[in-house]
Structure 1
Amino acid sequence: MSGGQFWPGRYTDRHGPEAVVFESDGRESIRTTIRGVRFEGDTMDDLGALGGEPPEAPFTFFDGALCSCLLEWEVPMPVAVEGQGVRTAVLDCALRLGDPAGPRRGLDAETLTTTLRFDGRTYQNTDGQGDFESALHDIQRQLPAGVRLQACIACAWSDYNPAGNGLMAGLACFRDVKDRYRQVDGKHGPTGIFAIWDEHTEFVQETWLCGEFEHRTTTHTGYRGPFPSRRWW
């Protein structure tokens, strides 16, 4: 796999906005610096201050992670266009993290908006989708025929744990056991996802991409199904 990415973005809370840059390894590490404080987390909704101590700068936290704020960032998104090869689009992401709702009750709101900018047009996920899996499925359905996202979410070798997944970065890659993964057709049994789960290569973000990418098709759908899915979110 290639090296990390730098996503230009913005952090906004009741004290005002600040331009930031998010550093991502494409797997389970995201870092940024806000008002001189270094933050790190597995996903965008779990960014905590490095060192573990509450910083002196004004922030709001819930269970050690930033909240009561708006995080915005841009991700380069390769797009395969039939007859033209691979081109680069831009995925604008906005995550609004609400206020703490009380002990053990989480946040009062968490809203993800993703907008793909490609060929002078925009494609945005519908309201109410709380993770990158459903948002990117929605965007793919809106794209013209012959235009396909080229990222881990659309790859033949990736799948989710049946127990569920969070906002992002919970996508398991099975590129090192392709022959076994081709046989997966459900949850349990000798050809179920649980039978090979511990053999996954690594966890990746939905928007990541490596040199072994292959488009997911309707002939092999693994546990999670085809991309885009046929269901409505």
Structure 2
Amino acid sequence: MSGGRFWPGRYTDRHGTEVVVFESDGRESIRTTIRGVRFEGDSMDDLGALGGEPPEAPFAFFDGALCSCLLEWEVPLSVAVEGQGVRTAVLDCALRLGDPAGPGRGLDAETLTTTLRLDGHEYRDAEGHDDFEDALNEVQRRLPPGTRLKACVSCAWSDYHPAGHGLMAGLACFRDAKDLYRQVDGKHGPRGIFTTWQEHTESVQETWLCEEFEDRTGHAGYRGAFPARPWR
């Protein structure tokens, strides 16, 4: 895979708004500097101060991670358009992290909104989602026929653990175990994802992309096709 990427963005809380840049390795590391304080986490909803101690600058935290704020950022995203080849789109992301709801109760709100901008058109998920898997499935369903996202979330060699996953990342890449992954047909059994899981190459973010990409079609692996069939 290629090196890190830089996502322009903004941080907003009750004390004001600041333009920031998020640096990501595409796997499980995101860093940024806000009001002179360095933050790092494996997900946008898990950004903690690098020093480990609460900084002097005004912030709100829950379990050591930023909360009571709005994080916004832009991610370049490849899109394959039938008859036109691969185009570069921009995915606008907005994550609203609410206030602590009380001991052991998490935040009172956490909402992700994504909008894909391509050739002057905007394709937005219908409503706020809990994670990038659902948000990008919704964006894909809204794209015109013959237009496909080209990223790890839509790759033939990626899958999630049956126990679940968080807001982003945690998407297992099986690019070095393709023959084995092709045989996955569910959760349990000799060809289940549990049996195959330890063979995955690494964990990646949904919006990452490498040269091993192949379009995910049909019912593949444990999680099935992309886009997933919406719940009724």
Same topology, TM > 0.5: yes
Calculate the TM-score normalised by the size of structure 2: 0.99
SS of structure 1 residue aligned to 2:230: coil
Letter in 1 for 2:109: A
Q: Which residue of 1 aligns with 2:18?
A: 18
**Residue 196 (1) aligns with residue 196 (2):** yes
Match of 1:152 in 2: 152
SS state of the match for residue 86, structure 1? strand
Distance 1:58 1:129 in 2: 28
* Matched residue, 1:100: 100
User: Tell me, what secondary structure is at the counterpart of 2:184?
Assistant: coil
Q: Distance in 2 between matches of 1:98 and 1:230?
A: 29
In the aligned structure 2, how far is the partner of 1:10 from the partner of 1:61?
18
Q: How does 1:1-233 map to 2 (within 5 A)?
A: 1-218=1-218, 220-232=219-231
TM-score by length of 1: 0.98
Task: After TM superposition, give the deviation of residue 128 of structure 1 in Å.
Answer: 4.1
> Quick one: percent identity of the two aligned structures?
81
| Structure 2 counterpart SS, 1:134 | helix
Query: Which amino acid in the other structure matches residue 16 of structure 1?
Result: G
Q: Is the 8 A contact 2:67 2:100 kept in 1?
A: yes
Gap runs ≥5 in structure 2: none
Q: Is the 2:11–2:72 Cα contact (8 Å) retained in structure 1?
A: yes
Matched residue type, 1:230: R
User: Deviation at 1:232?
Assistant: 2.9
Amino acid at match of 1:229: A
**Matched AA of 2:186:** G
What per-residue deviation string (whole Å, max 9, x for no partner) do you get for residues 62-96 of structure 1?
00000000000000000001111100000000000
> Gaps spanning 5+ residues in structure 1: where?
none
| Letter in structure 2 aligned against 1:173 | C
Is the CA contact (8 Å cut-off) linking 2:113 and 2:128 kept in structure 1? no
Amino acid at match of 2:179: D
Count of aligned pairs between the two proteins:
232
Q: Structure 2: how far apart are the matches of 1:231 and 1:21?
A: 33
Q: Which runs of 4+ in 1 moved over 2 A?
A: none
> d(CA) in 1 for partners of 2:229 and 2:167?
21
Q: What is the one-letter code of the residue matched to 1:31? A: R
Q: Distance in 2 between matches of 1:195 and 1:30?
A: 30
Q: Return the alpha-carbon distance in structure 1 between the equivalents of residues 130 and 81 of structure 2.
A: 28
Instruction: Report the CA distance between 1:117 and its aligned residue.
Output: 0.4
Task: Give 1:180 shift.
Answer: 0.2
Q: 1:231: how far off?
A: 2.5
Q: Within 1, Cα distance between the matches of 2:147 and 2:131?
A: 22
Alignment-mate amino acid for residue 228 of structure 2: S
SS of the equivalent of 1:114 reads strand
SS in 2 for 1:176: coil
CA RMSD of the aligned region, Å?
Answer: 0.8
Query: What is the distance in 1 between the residues matched to 2:108 and 2:171?
Result: 26
Whole-Å separation in 2 of the counterparts to 1:128 and 1:189: 36
